[in-house]
Homo-oligomer: A and B are copies of this chain.
Amino acid sequence: MPERIDAEPNRLERRKARTRAALVRAAQSFMAAGKLNAPILEITQAADVGMGSFYNHFQSKDELFHAAVEAALEVHGAALDQLTVGLDDPADIFAQSFRLTGRLHRRSPDLSKVLLHNGLALAASGKGLAPRARRDIEAAARAGRFNVRDPELAMTIVTGAALCLGQLLHDHPDRDDSEATDHVTEDLLRMFGIPADEAHEICQRPLPDPDVVPRTVA
């Protein structure tokens, strides 16, 4: 057993991590396809992993699916963090994050569907998007850019809008995702007290190219 918990992983540990990651990725694609009742055997086959290996990593299917959602949240959250470095205005950070999140649904439909599935449960809870949205909103409020009495309620509206927007884009594949997303972002900025013309301007600023961050999940 490894003495130092954070020591360099050796080949064995890397192999274990690969197996686990394969299971998580398979779970994500089953979730994206809406097959939450898929038997474990099918999932391990999709992961190209033996049935028994499943129990080396997870106690139950629920545990696997939970890990799959958390991983998806982490991927997207980390991408947002990287894509917004260098921005100063907290209102701008918020707006860019929201606009990028809206574009995610077309760009990475599977990741998007995983997030939408457990959306509500995870909107509130600790990991992923919600704490970032909250951080940005609070920063903007402190800087006097947003007029927000209760950051938690503000976050609630924002998170809800993000989720339902994603659902809308999946349900109406013809709809222009950038236009819809920017429109919603503008509405939210106005709700936070940004003047209409400035809100409009902010939502027309160029966005960074998400490809600088490699997509981990299809």
A: residues with CB less than 8 A from B are 37, 116, 119-121, 123-125, 149-150, 152-154, 156-157, 159-165, 167-168, 171, 180, 183-184, 187-188, 190-191
Contacts and interface: CB of A to CB of B under 8 A. Distances in A.
A184 B156 contact: yes
For this chain, the copies found in one complex come to: 2
Nearest to A190: B191
A154 B190 CA distance: 13
A45 to B, nearest CB: 21
Contact of A123 (B156, B159, B167): B167
Nearest to A117: B120
A160 B154 contact: no
Contacts of A191: 187-188, 190-191
Contacts of A121: 167
B163 A161 contact: no
Contacts of A119: 119-120
Contacts of A180: 150, 153
**Nearest 7 CB-CB pairings of A with B:** A160-B160, A160-B164, A191-B191, A157-B161, A160-B161, A156-B164, A120-B167
A162 B159 CA distance: 11
A23 to B, nearest CB: 20
A188 B153 CA distance: 11
A164 B159 contact: yes
A190 B191 CA distance: 6
Nearest to A193: B190
A161 B164 CA distance: 9
A116 B123 CA distance: 12
| Of listed A37, A153, A168, A171, residue having the most chain B CB within 10 A | A153
